[in-house]
Amino acid sequence: MTALLTALGAAAAFIAATTADTATAAASTTLVDAQIVEVYVFLLAAFTGFQIITKVPPLLHTPLMAATNAISAISLVASIVIAGAERPLFINIMGMVAVAAATINVVGGFVITDRMLKMFKKTEAPK
Amino acid sequence: MIDQQIGALFVQIAYIGASAAFILGLRGLTKPDTARRGMQLAAFGMLLAIIGTLLNHEIVSYQFIIIGLVVGSAIGLPMGLLVPMTAMPQRIAVSHMFGALAVTLVGIAEFLHYRDVPGGPGVVKMIALGFETLFGALTITGSFMAFGKLQGFISGQPLTFPGQKLINAAVFFGAVGLYVTLVLTQSGGATETGLIMFAVMTVLALVIGVTLVLPIGGADMPVVVSLLNSYAGLAASATGFAIGNNILIVAGALDGASGFILSILMSKAMNRSFANVLFGAFGGEKAAVSAKSSEGLTTRSVTPEDAAMRIGYARNVIIVPGYGMAVAQAQHAVRELAELIEKRGGRVRFAIHPVAGRMPGHMNVLLAEANVPYDHLFDLDEINEEFHACDVALVLGANDVTNPAAKSDPGSPIYGMPILNVQDAEQVIVVKRGMATGFAGIENELFYLDKTSMLFGDAKSVLSQVVTEVKGL
């Protein structure tokens, strides 16, 4: 845990440092602000994720993996933009393939997670 | 202009809502009775994010998006509905592949896009783009190899050849070197060689995925699948940095954290150091093992009738299922036996080792599918002290995870691995096909104890016989 936080801290410091370089190079402060915020977002999300996921019981680790897999198919959002934006045709087609691949995970992932979770039942009350 | 701003605001609100839904949804997974509702919330969040994105002002045409969504749903829905629970590890591995494919294609598309942008992507975006493509590409092939090994069309045996480590290291450092060079040269604007370097880096990353998983044996797949889960998440997060999209960063970080935690848990349960896992070097070193030989030791074999007598009159039974039980499809027979014992007034619990099955938590899903109530399933820490008080421990197709050598024999290759304390039970009945060793390739002392009876045969047919016998008691 401590090691992880140290590593994350180091990563943040590194990114912050490189961002500062960009600032001098591009002389664009708004850009830096946006990117620093992104680093915050990443760190807080990773920390939150770490806290919540350590509390998921081993009982549900397979559904957990199926679920996070479906959630990380959020790359669908990026794929959609590339498939539909004003770009060369072959890039739009790459975007289309990406949309299809991510959709497989979104649809399949949530369906299969639900199928699994549906099966977990408590002992029925004695009749 | 104002319309556009309102649109952008709506997109951001949708993304914030989706992020909250993901986090709350995962929190639901901390308890079995809130899990299902939590995941439905997460699915709703996903829908929200997709609708928000479709309103993005950058989008000028929808035909490719619609084709992609339709094709993806047409493949994803049957996959979600039809894949049997025993095949869950393969399904997860292949979905890591699809996720990584999407991320990598986005990375390549963005890199090409920035070649036309004066001033280039900038350092941060180039770092993110390169990382995304590097990790995405190696996860594509790595997951495909894991899928192949789990599905059985690639040999589950670790494949090694002389000089493998040297070649792996060369490929790895080649890819990383190109990545660093790309960041140093392409951030401020495209150069001629940039495209070639990027292409070579991507190909090398694809090769890394293959060489990473090739030398790893089938039984080590829980670690591999967890690790690839983490990589896929990190790549998605990097995509968020590359295109400046917070929801990708959040969702990727959640996935990365989850894969990371599961990798640590699995590596601990399999007696491997975390450093081993990080560098993907696991499974490679399985040198000649100097385990205790079984010569001079004898096992005691019993008939299903004998076993039924002992199990039928036991008050307190702990069942230890292993992957062998799943292979024999004996889950339903086990559940039937457990219900019988309970009807006769006994207590039955299931002791689940973290690596029972082919992925984290796999055994729980298989037993839940067979209608075993989840409050009968206990993990290692919860149940290990309970073996003392148990009359009969029934070991079904589990081997290394019950080997007392992990505690008593510092020379054993599994020394230090957490095991289930089956040897503490009053008596032990082991259902097994034969005397073959487990994946660690060592003898299990448990089988030679006086209190242990071996019940040889196919788990499903043996258990059905036991069930019939218990019914007749």
Give pLDDT, residue B211. 87
Average pLDDT, integer, range B451-461: 89
The alpha carbon torsion through B218, B221, B225, B231 (nearest 10 deg) reads -90
Q: Residue for token digits 């258990």?
A: B463
- Verify whether the Cβ–Cβ distance A69 to B254 is below 8 Å: no
Domain boundary among A17, A37, A55: A55
Q: Span B169-195, mean pLDDT?
A: 89
Q: Do A77 and B53 touch (CB under 8 A)?
A: yes
Contact B424, B445 (CB under 8 A): no
* Per-residue pLDDT at A8: 53
Hey, are the CB atoms on A81 and B58 less than 8 Å from each other? yes
User: For domain B304-471, is the CATH number 3.40.50.1220?
Assistant: yes
Q: Does B237 touch chain A (CB under 8 A)?
A: yes
Mutate to test the interface with B, among A1, A62, A91, A110 (most CBs of B within 10 A): A62
Selecting from B30, B60, B83 the residue whose C-beta is nearest the C-beta of A56 gives B30
**Backbone phi, psi, residue A28, to 5°:** -125, 100
Residue A95 — very low, low, confident or very high, per pLDDT cuts 50/70/90? very high
One domain, residues A112 and A66: yes
Task: Return the bridge partners of B378, or none.
Answer: B351
Domains in chain A, number: 2
* Residue A65, in any domain of the structure: yes
Active site residue B400: yes
Is the pLDDT score of A23 beyond 50?
A: no
Min Cα distance A114 → chain B (Å) is 6
Residue B296 is predicted with a pLDDT of: 63
Identify the band that residue A22 occupies on the pLDDT scale cut at 50, 70 and 90: very low
The per-residue pLDDT for B264 is: 87
Tokens of B450: 């006086």
Q: What is the pLDDT of residues B315-363, one digit of tens each?
A: 999 999 988 888 888 899 999 999 999 999 899 999 999 888 778 899 9
Does the beta carbon of B252 lie under 8 angstroms from any beta carbon of chain A?
yes
Same domain? A68 vs A97: yes
Q: How far apart are CA B216 and CA B97, in angstroms?
A: 18
* pLDDT tens digits along A46-90: 999 999 999 999 999 999 999 999 999 999 999 999 999 999 999
Name the β-bridge partners of B320.
B395
pLDDT of B40: 95
pLDDT at site B132: 95
Q: Kindly report the nearest CA distance between residue B415 and chain A, in angstroms.
A: 23
Q: Is the dihedral of CA B385, B386, B388, B393 positive or negative?
A: negative
In chain A, the largest separation of any two C-alpha atoms, in whole Å, equals: 75
Contact B95 A56 (CB under 8 A): no
Gap between the Cα atoms of B186 and B166, Å rounded: 29
Q: What is the mean pLDDT of chain B?
A: 87
Strand B427-432 to B392-396 pairing: parallel
Which residue, A42, A111, A69, A102, is CA-closest to B105?
A102
Provide the pLDDT confidence category of residue B153 given band limits of 50, 70 and 90: confident
Instruction: Choose between A106 and A23: higher pLDDT.
Output: A106
Q: Which of A31, A44, A59, A124 to mutate to test the interface with B (most CBs of B within 10 A)?
A: A59
In the predicted model, what is the mean pLDDT of residues B163-174?
86
| CB–CB contacts below 8 A, A to B | 385
In percent, the amount of chain B with pLDDT more than 70 equals 93
Q: What residues make up the domain containing A17?
A: 1-55
**Under 8 Å CB-to-CB from B12, ≥6 apart: which residues?**
none
What's the confidence (pLDDT) of residue A48?
A: 94
Q: Cβ contact (<8 Å) for B229 and A21?
A: no
Task: Name beta bridge partners: A82.
Answer: none
Residue A127 lies in a domain: no
Whole-number pLDDT of residue A11: 52
Are both A73 and A115 inside the same structural domain?
A: yes
Q: Are residues A45 and A75 in the same domain?
A: no
DSSP string, A4-51: HHHHHHHHHHHHHHHHHHHHHHH--HHHHHHHHHHHHHHHHHHHHHHH
Instruction: Tell me which residues of chain B, numbers 18 to 57, contact chain A at a CB-CB cutoff of 8 Å.
Output: 18-19, 22-23, 25-27, 29-33, 35-36, 39-40, 42-43, 46, 49-50, 53-54, 56
B118 touches chain A (CB under 8 A): no
Of B21-30, B160-169, B225-234, the least confident: B160-169
What is the per-residue pLDDT for B276? 65
Q: What integer is the mean pLDDT of B444-460?
A: 88
User: pLDDT-based confidence at B279, cuts 50/70/90?
Assistant: low
CA-CA distance, B375 to B373, in Å (whole number)?
6
The end-to-end CA distance of chain A, in Å, is 47
- Nearest CB to A68; choose among B53, B248, B255: B255
Of A34, A55, A76, the residue that ends a domain is: A55
pLDDT above 50 for A27? no
Q: What is the least distance, in Å, from the CA of B73 to any CA of chain A?
A: 6
Pick from B38, B41, B100: which is nearest to B259 by CA? B100
Which residues make Cβ contacts (< 8 Å) with residue B369, sequence separation at least 6?
A119, B85, B331
Specify the amino acid at residue B149: K
Domain ranges of chain B: 83-278, 304-471
Cβ contacts (< 8 Å) between B258 and chain A: which residues?
A: 49, 53, 64-65, 68
Cα of A4 to nearest chain B Cα, Å: 10
How much of chain B, in percent, has pLDDT values that exceed 90?
52
pTM across the whole model: 0.86
In this predicted structure, what is the pLDDT of residue B287? 41
**Would residue A43 count as lying in a domain?**
yes
Nearest to B64 among A96, A106, A117 (CB): A96
Pairing of strands B452-456, B427-432: parallel
Residue B228 has pLDDT above 60, yes or no: yes
Q: Quickly state the pLDDT bin for B289 (edges 50, 70, 90).
A: very low
Kindly state the average pLDDT of the residues B88-115: 93
Q: In 10 A of CB A6, how many CB atoms?
A: 10
**Strand order from edge to edge, sheet including B377-379:** B377-379, B347-352, B316-321, B392-396, B427-432, B452-456
Closest CA of chain A from B43, distance in Å: 6
Same domain, A117 and A67: yes
pLDDT band at A9 (very low <50, low <70, confident <90, very high): low
Q: Could you count the other beta carbons within 10 Å of the beta carbon of residue B75?
A: 17
Is residue B192 scored above 90 in pLDDT? no
Partner-chain residue, chosen from A76, A94, A104, that has the shortest CB–CB distance to B109: A94
Rounded Cα distance between B112 and A85, Å, is 14
B126 touches chain A (CB under 8 A): no
Confidence band, pLDDT 50/70/90 cuts, at residue B4:
confident
Q: Are B453 and B304 in contact (CB under 8 A)?
A: no
pLDDT number for residue B160: 72
Residue B285: predicted pLDDT? 45
Residue A111 with chain B: CB contacts under 8 Å: 76-77, 80-81
Which residue, A55, A80, A100, sits at the end of a domain?
Answer: A55
Cβ of A79 and B102 within 8 Å?
yes
pLDDT at B291 over 50: no
> Considering only B333-337, B358-362, B369-373, B383-387, which range has the smallest mean pLDDT?
B358-362
Q: What are the DSSP calls for B306-361, one per residue?
A: HHHHHHHT-SEEEEEE-HHHHHTT-HHHHHHHHHHHHHTT-EEEEEE-TTSSSSTT
The reported pLDDT for the residue numbered B223 is: 84
Distance from the A67 Cα atom to the nearest Cα atom in chain B, whole angstroms: 7
